[in-house]
Amino acid sequence: MALSEAVLAEARANPWPFAKGHGHLHVQWKNGLDGNKQCLDAAILRGEFSAAQALHRLTVGMLNLDGSRNGPQRPTLSSKWASGGRAAAAVSAHVEALRLHLAQRVAADIARAGTAGTAAGTAGTAAGTAGTA
């Protein structure tokens, strides 16, 4: 399933804040999908990074603060896990499920920001900005 343009725009506008080799998503293959969702949620709640920043890091092609792009220039979680001998299809499905989980959080953040803007009398509505994951 493709992510909405609003969600991807939010990820582009909020790049992963750490230099290469620093900062961690706190996910591990052995945690399984639900465990990794919990790890991401906990790190977001601790304020280590936002859902948009984590989605940025998990998305191939996103431009990092140092000018490199996720992918060949800066390995992604998919490439790291696949290089460990895991089946590429299983890795891809796991990472895509994490991306969708984060996209739902980003969409909720956008909706809250739209609702707050509307409540303050500014233009925009949650429905107009939320998109779907």
pLDDT at 79 over 80: yes
pLDDT at 123: 31
| 88's tokens | 């590429």
Which position has the higher pLDDT, 3 or 105?
A: 105
| 58's tokens | 């998990």
pLDDT at 116: 62
pLDDT at 117: 52
Alpha carbon separation from 27 to 23, 42, 78 (Å, rounded):
12, 11, 12
**E strand or H helix that includes residue 109:** helix 88-119
Exposure on the CB side of residue 4, measured as CA atoms within 13 A: 18
pLDDT at 56 over 80: yes
Amino acid at 121: G
